[in-house]
Amino acid sequence: MNFSIIIPAHNEETSIGLTLQSLIDQTLQPKEIVVVNDNSTDATQSIVEDFQKKHPFIKLVNVTSSNKHLPGTKIINAFYKGFDIIDKDYDVICKFDADLIFPLNYLEKIAFHFNKNKTIGMVAGYCYIEKNNDWILESITGKDHIRGALKAYKKDCFEAIGQLKRAMGWDTIDELLAKYNNWTILLDDTLHVKHLKPTGASYNKAAKYLQGEAMYKMRYGFTLTFLTALKMSYKKKSFRYFKDYIIGYVKATRNKPEQLLTEAEGKYVRDLRWKGVRKKLF
């Protein structure tokens, strides 16, 4: 299978080399890797340029945007800068973060799953973080969710979901729309990806209400948003998360930003989420 990989990167000099090397060394090499250097002020660009000299399938795009690390719009805007220049004759499109170290058989196993079951639209492994000199599962989300750091889509699925939304929550919306369009999601627990920077470590404070706003845009409704906020607050062991989610949602009900899902898609999402709640409770 032909893999096209897009890596948005902002000030990743300590990790981008490790990420690229782990992809170069894959048992199934990608067709192309596009690094989108988004307003970096460190050595990210020169490191990628050094890799380009030896590996012509690595491409570099330099763009300038805000230096604030806001989740959602910024990273997907960078993704599309890379998407604009890739060879569209790909089988699998990947959006990877610039702080990951992949096991050497990662792409080979992804291809195996896609080829084995034609209904699978998205595949990934799990992120592991280093703690006390050991690599442990980064468990900030459920084990049935593919992290935004390591997305891989079959081309037909990617097109069926309308590609990626330029908004907070894009990495949940893609899975929900894939299921809505009758694609299945697979996570392979044998694929352990080292995540060098814990998620959210560099998020700007201005992003704190965006999760609640995303719940509104995904047509969750207040009760599901309330339960989601409660769960995240418990996971993070901080009431602040609950408060920020709810404030963000309430602000959105007043400001009424554009919805990201149609009414039919929203109903499907609510039904799916409530089914999950009932399963956990009963």
The β-bridge partners of 126 are: 192
Mean pLDDT of 171-186: 96
Distance of CA 229 to the CA centre of its chain: 20
pTM score, whole prediction: 0.90
Please state, in angstroms and rounded to a whole number, the distance separating the CA atoms of residues 169 and 75.
Answer: 12
Instruction: Answer whether residue 5 shows pLDDT above 80.
Output: yes
Q: How far is CA 258 from CA 4, 167, 216, 246, in A?
A: 31, 11, 9, 18
Residue 129: what pLDDT? 93
CATH classification of 3-195 is 3.30.460.80, yes or no?
no
Question: What pLDDT is recorded for position 186?
Answer: 97
Give the pLDDT confidence score for residue 15 in this predicted structure.
97
User: Is residue 203's pLDDT more than 60?
Assistant: no
What is the pLDDT at residue 68? 58
Most confident of 113-117, 136-140, 233-237, 238-242: 113-117
- pLDDT, residue 205, reads 57
Query: For the segment 144-163, what is each residue's pLDDT rounded down to a tens digit?
Result: 899 999 999 999 999 999 99
The stretch 1-8 carries a mean pLDDT of 97
pLDDT for the residue 11: 94
Mean pLDDT of 256-275: 94
pLDDT tens digits for 51-95?
Answer: 999 999 999 999 987 655 556 788 999 999 999 999 999 999 999
pLDDT at residue 206, as a whole number: 57
The residue assigned the tokens 């990790």 is 15
- Number of H helices and number of E strands within the chain? 10, 9
- Considering the chain, what is the average pLDDT of its residues? 92
Residue 247 has pLDDT above 60, yes or no: yes
Model confidence at 170, in pLDDT bands (50, 70, 90)? very high
Amino acid, res. 223:
T
Nearest-angstrom CA–CA distance, 272 and 275: 5
Domain chopping of the chain, boundaries: 3-195, 208-281
